[in-house]
Amino acid sequence: MKKSLLALAVLGAFAGAAQAQSSVTIYGIVDTGVVYQSKVATGGGNTGSKFSLNSGVVQGSRIGFKGVEDLGGGLSAVFNLEAGFNNDTGGLQGSDAATSSNLFRRKSVVGLAGGFGTVLLGRQTDFADTISAYTSVADFGGWTGNVGHNLDRLEGTRTNNSISYTTNNLSGFTGNLIYGFGETAGKTSAGQSFGAGVKYDNGPLGLGLNYYQSKANGTAFSSDTALIPSSSTTASVNTLDGTAGNTAYKGWNLVGSYQFGPARVYANWSRVKQDLNTQANLTAVGVGPLDTVTNRTLARANKADVYEIGTAYSLSPSLKLLAAVEHTRAQFDGVSGKGKLTQYNIGTDYWLSKRTDLYAFLAYTKGTDMVNTGVSDSTGVDGNQAAVAVGIRHKF
């Protein structure tokens, strides 16, 4: 009897040790707000006001699972699965039929971490997502996306079939490489993508530099509104009909942030080139000559520069005042001159606890010689739009 009790105690000790060496965490965000927009396109060149209940005003609503297992010798196995959902409808998050049915469309990775850094395989965002902490994305989230961040991908590009390597922190520096396999037989470059980034953290100073490139997969034109033509990136892509393997998208991001006491100030610049957005390709898919403002959209820009400045001022540990300005200059094949988009934002963020906050945003967006993409919904024409959001976000 004593031997049996001893054996059970030993087994219990080993089980406890094994359990202590591995862990799984369930986490998530539920973010929902009431949004008002003026001059939303209603069809036929007309516009009207719109009230809506939007999920993910600041951050996309999500639920995730992440875990780590200690393999010994400083080596760990890691995984992360993250599903997005629309809190206003309860449905899976996705901008088109291809992604709305993907359970873990936000992230699905497994890999190893240790003294050498971290290697991850699966569907994951590139390093732009990491350095976005130095931009308006940290405070306004998706509220500032349509004027340029959705084009310069400051929240990262979800890349299918990818492998990434991230260094550990080296005297403030962290680097990253990512490669997405096109997985096309006989044409390695079709749908291929790759990127490289680095960030530097030193007390109040944060700097980041990132590059991302994707290549055409050769599929037909997609009518969705996303921007990056490559099957290896997020499935929400604008796959203009081009030769498989030709460069479709190239983007540079340079960002910086500095904390002056209670105030964080930041600025960034991005250069985007979409090489497949040519007159010939657009005509081939029935778009026609780009000689009217209604055809000048960011998705069809062959080159764009996106600029941003902003600040976040902490009146108290719980209350922040926010302000940011984004300005995009875009050019189009077959059109003289550049289109311009500018968005002015002010807001406040009040934390009721460490996990729950209330936010209120106000934005004014103006388009010149191109379509005004609006804060959430396009106006369909150039001109201006005002938008207001009031919402709640809970993290668990």
Looking at the domain assignment, is residue 8 inside a domain?
no
* pLDDT band for position 127 (cuts 50, 70, 90): very high
Is pLDDT of 261 > 90? yes
- For residue 212, give its domain range: 24-395
Q: Which of 43-52, 67-76, 284-293 has the lowest mean pLDDT?
A: 284-293
Is pLDDT of 179 > 70? yes
Q: Mean pLDDT over all residues of the chain?
A: 84
Looking at the domain assignment, is residue 4 inside a domain?
no
Q: Strand runs (DSSP E) across the chain, as ranges? A: 22-43, 46-55, 62-72, 75-84, 107-114, 117-125, 158-166, 173-180, 193-202, 205-215, 247-260, 263-273, 303-314, 319-331, 339-351, 356-368, 383-395
Looking at the domain assignment, is residue 40 inside a domain?
yes
Contacts of 355 (CB under 8 A, 6+ apart): 394, 395, 396
Tokens of 362: 């106000």
Q: For 229-257, write each residue's pLDDT tens digit.
A: 333 333 233 444 467 777 888 999 999 99
Looking at the domain assignment, is residue 6 inside a domain?
no
Domain count along the chain: 1
Alpha helices in 136-238 (DSSP H): 150-152
26 half-sphere exposure, CB direction, 13 A CA radius? 1
Higher pLDDT residue, 157 or 26? 26
* pLDDT band for position 228 (cuts 50, 70, 90): very low
Looking at the domain assignment, is residue 146 inside a domain?
yes
Look-up of token digits 């209350």: 319
Is pLDDT of 284 > 50? no
Higher pLDDT residue, 26 or 285? 26
Higher pLDDT residue, 95 or 170? 170
Beta bridge partners of 362: 346, 388
Q: What pTM was estimated for this model as a whole?
A: 0.84
As a whole number of angstroms, the distance between CA 315 and CA 174 comes to: 31
Is pLDDT of 335 > 80? no
Domain harbouring 58, CATH code: 2.40.160.10
Q: Which of 149-153, 213-217, 233-237, 253-257 has the lowest mean pLDDT?
A: 233-237
* pLDDT band for position 292 (cuts 50, 70, 90): low
Provide the b/e sequence for 263-295 (b: ≥16 CB within 10 Å). ebebbbebebbbbbbbbebbeeeeeeebeebeb
CB 141 within 8 A of CB 148: no
Looking at the domain assignment, is residue 58 inside a domain?
yes
| pLDDT, average across residues 77-90 | 95
Looking at the domain assignment, is residue 283 inside a domain?
yes
CB 396 within 8 A of CB 28: yes
Is pLDDT of 8 > 50? no
Collapsed DSSP state (helix, strand, coil) of residue 354: coil
* pLDDT band for position 92 (cuts 50, 70, 90): confident
* pLDDT band for position 94 (cuts 50, 70, 90): low
Higher pLDDT residue, 327 or 15? 327
Q: Which of 128-142, 252-266, 302-316, 378-392 has the lowest mean pLDDT?
A: 378-392
CB 237 within 8 A of CB 230: yes
Q: What is the DSSP string of 279-320?
A: HHHHHHTT-----SGGG--GGG-SEEEEEEEEEEEESSSSEE
Q: Which of 261, 343, 341 is nearest to 293 (CA)?
A: 341
Looking at the domain assignment, is residue 212 inside a domain?
yes
What pLDDT was estimated at residue 233? 36
Is pLDDT of 21 > 90? no
